[in-house]
Amino acid sequence: MTEALRPEPTDEELIARHAADPEGAAGRAAVSILLGRYQRRVYVWCHRYVRNPERALELAQEVLLRAYRSLGSFQGRSRFGSWLFAIARNRCLNEIAAPSLLRDDDVELDTLPASDGTPEQMLEELQDEEALRRLLADTLEPEEREALWLRCFERLPVEEITVVMRLDNATGARGLLQRARRKLRAALDRRTP
Amino acid sequence: MTVTPCIPLEELAAVAELPASDPRRAHVAQCPRCGALLDAYARFLEPGAEADAAHVAAADTRLSEFLARTLGAPAPARAPARTAPRTSWWAALFAPAMRPALGFVMAAIVLGGIVVWPRLAGRGPADALRGGSQRATVPTLRITDATLGVAGLRMAWESVADADAYEVRIYSDALAEIARLNANGDTMLIVPPSELSFRPVPGQPLLVRVDARRHGEVIASSPPIPLSVTTTPD
């Protein structure tokens, strides 16, 4: 019963314990507790990307190890969870290719209009991320913008976007992404000289 | 007009708690990039039903073992982080009183998966290849010695049934592979310094892992473990 009453150390307290004794048993024990709190989340996140338990486990190990090695550089300006999330996200992004803004095999390719290549060329000319962001802002509804961003820049699976955005309509993110791409394509067509 | 720049990912969670009138908070609400990342981070903290899957529980056990090996500290008695307390039946299952029993059950499941299942199914370990069935797992190979000193590299590991070759891979701290060494069918490998394809630096943090192969396919792998570079004779 006493264990339930004893307050658990916060992430910040564990990081401080590690900083005070990084190579000692107390410091390593603190990191072990800290990373142990997040290991399941890291694994689940990796699994969402690679859809393979063994590969996800390898990625999660790499993420945890990288976090451990880099903990000395964590300066406490952000939450430990978001710092660790950034490491996991970057590692996962390196693992898979990004789908195009205009075409995506996972979103029912058949429903997309045939392309003569012009919108793709226009898109390639939008090298500047700020210009691309402006185009998305001018063309799409906020929900469509976020879905497309999650798909193309965060490389999240379509089903995952449905959950992340809490979409409860029948088609989930799939329909949203199709609509966003149609609008984007039409906007790029209109820009064609 | 002042344009608020995008928020660094690490700071997004804190910015989301600022007053709605704060320009940085307003930026997050309007920017597809920042909004998407904030939602993704929330999902990271609250994995949902997927976290209850059997493969997650097995991975959780192996990650605890990995941390214990890597940190030289006992596997932590896990508790949910304060940022996202869990209140589901799953949390009750992980209550302190349940941990010993749960650990035993998980170990039994993992052992059963590795040892019993291939035999029951009449399939050899080669069927459990990475990238194969989502249910399959690559068994863990245990490294018993990993030393890199002035005498060179000395590695030893436990043999894996049916393996016809072993491969040692060494990684930098940044997880870039810097050497791959073929040990043929031996369960140990000694490489003199002159034959190493890289120059070890004392104190340099390196990682090493061993893959067991049969007919070229990986049938077991060790997790990466630290390989300390020492200046003393081994």
Distance (Å) from the alpha carbon of A190 to chain B's nearest alpha carbon:
23
Touching A: B residues 167-186, CB under 8 Å: 173, 175
| A118–chain B nearest CA distance, Å | 25
Shortest CA distance from B35: residue in chain A: A146
Residues 6+ apart with CB under 8 A from B101: none
Q: State the count of interchain CB pairs (< 8 A) between A and B.
A: 186
Does residue B19 surpass a pLDDT of 70? yes
For B18-41, what is the mean pLDDT?
85
Contact predicate A138/A182, CB 8 Å: no
Contact (CB<8Å) A89/B40: yes
- When pLDDT is averaged across residues A71-99 and rounded to a whole number, the result is 85
B136 pLDDT exceeds 70?
no
pLDDT, greater one: A28 or B199: A28
Which residue in A15, A40, A128 has the most chain B C-beta atoms within 10 A of its own C-beta, making it the best mutation to test that interface? A40
Whether pLDDT at B223 is above 50: yes
Q: Is the pLDDT of residue A192 over 80?
A: no
Q: pLDDT at position B83, please?
A: 43
Sort out which chain B residues have CB atoms less than 8 A from A8's CB and list them. 79, 82
A34-48, A135-149, B25-39, B110-124: which range is least confident on average? B110-124
Region B177-199: mean pLDDT is 81
Least trusted range by pLDDT, from A20-24, B110-114, B163-167, B229-233: B110-114
Does A65 sit within 8 Å of B224, measured CB to CB? yes
Does residue A67 surpass a pLDDT of 70? Answer: yes
Residue type, B158: E
Read off φ and ψ for residue B212, nearest 5 degrees.
Answer: -95, 135
Residues 6+ apart with CB under 8 A from B95: none
Greater confidence (B120 vs A192) lies with A192
- Residue showing tokens 């190579």: A23
Give kind and range of the element (H or E) at residue B199. none
CA–CA gap between residue A33 and residue B73 (Å, rounded): 9
A56: chain B residues, CB-CB within 8 Å:
59
> Cβ of A41 and B41 within 8 Å?
no
From chain A, the residues in CB contact with B81 under 8 A are 11, 37-38, 81
Percent of chain B with pLDDT over 70: 63
Sequence-ordered alpha helix ranges (H) in B20-170: 23-30, 32-45, 54-71, 89-93, 99-111, 117-120
* pLDDT for position A13: 92
What is the per-residue pLDDT for A83?
A: 92
Average pLDDT, integer, range A49-69: 92
Please report the pLDDT score of residue B80 as a whole number.
47
Helices (H), ranges, chain A:
2-5, 11-20, 25-50, 53-70, 80-93, 118-125, 129-139, 142-152, 158-164, 172-191
Local structure of B158: helix, strand or coil: coil
Reference A100, options A184, A172, A175; nearest CA is A184
- Give the residue from chain B lying closest to A57, CA to CA: B59
Residues in A touching B62 (Cβ below 8 Å): 57
- Using a CB-CB cut-off of 8 Å, the residues of chain B touching A44 are 47, 50-51, 56
The answer to ipTM > 0.85 is: no
Looking at the complex, report in whole angstroms how far the Cα of residue B207 sits from the nearest Cα belonging to chain A. 10
Tell me if A163 sits within 8 A of B49, measured CB to CB: no
b/e code A166-190 from CB counts within 10 Å (16+ = b): ebeeeebbbbbbbbbbebbbebbee
- Exposed, middle or buried: residue B211 (CB in 10 Å: 0-12, 13-18, 19+)? buried
**CB contact at 8 A, A148 and A184:** yes
**Residue of B149 and A119 predicted with greater confidence:** B149
Please report the sign of the dihedral spanned by the C-alpha atoms of residue A10, residue A15, residue A21, residue A26.
positive
Q: Is there a contact between B32 and A11 if contact means CB atoms under 8 Å apart?
A: no
Top residue of A136, A141, A146, A166 to mutate, by most chain B CBs within 10 Å, is A146
Instruction: Place B127 in a pLDDT band, splitting at 50, 70 and 90.
Output: very low
Higher pLDDT, B221 or B172: B221
| pLDDT value at residue A102 | 64
Task: Kindly tell me if the per-residue pLDDT of A3 is higher than 50.
Answer: no
In this complex, do A40 and B96 lie within 8 Å of one another by their Cβ atoms? Answer: no
Residue-wise pLDDT for A106-128, tens only, equals 554 434 444 444 555 555 555 55
What letter represents residue A65's amino acid? Answer: L
Residue B68 near chain A (CB below 8 Å): yes
Count the neighbouring beta carbons within 10 Å of the beta carbon of residue A85.
Answer: 28
Q: Which residues of A touch B137 (CB under 8 A)?
A: 53-54
Mean pLDDT of A72-86: 88
Q: Which residue of A has its CA nearest to B176?
A: A62
Disruptive mutation site among A13, A14, A39, A162 for chain B (greatest number of B CBs within 10 Å) = A39
Span B70-106, pLDDT tens digits: 887 655 555 444 443 333 433 444 445 555 555 555 5
pLDDT of residue B82: 43
Comparing A52-61, B179-188, B216-225, which segment has the lowest mean pLDDT? B216-225
| Residues B157 and B222: beta-carbon distance below 8 Å | yes
Q: Token digits for B66?
A: 């990995």
Least confident of A10-24, B16-30, B67-81: B67-81
Given pLDDT bands bounded at 50, 70 and 90, which one contains residue A187? confident
Helix (H, G, I), strand (E, B) or coil at A11: helix
Task: Answer whether B82 sits within 8 Å of A85, measured CB to CB.
Answer: no
Interface contact flag, A37 B79, Cβ < 8 Å: yes
SS3 B29: helix
